Amino acid sequence: CNVVGFALANTAVGAAVKIAQVGQLGGFSSLTAGGKVFASLTAGGITQNISSFSTGDVIFQVGFATSTPQIAIQPMFVMELG
């Protein structure tokens, strides 16, 4: 598992897409400002709650919430649960 950034648009499989790898990205909801943000177990999603992750799941931090609708992008591998 590797995260390189966020797709800035929905596209068809195999189509070119612009990726945000650093900076601020908005459009989210219900984030807790200052909290870490992780790639979700749901494809394309994000979460601040990793309590449902289990053995074999990969935890990948994608940034942190700067406000309720916005994150600062800072992808980093955290761990694989085993």
What pLDDT does residue 34 have? 96
CA distances from 34 to 9, 28, 47, 69, 72 (A): 26, 14, 13, 12, 10
Of the pLDDT bands very low, low, confident and very high (cuts 50, 70, 90), residue 5 is confident
Give the tens place of pLDDT for each residue, 29-74.
999 999 999 999 888 889 999 999 998 888 889 999 999 999 999 8
Record the pTM. 0.83
What pLDDT does residue 1 have? 58
Task: Tell me if 69 sits within 8 A of 78, measured CB to CB.
Answer: no
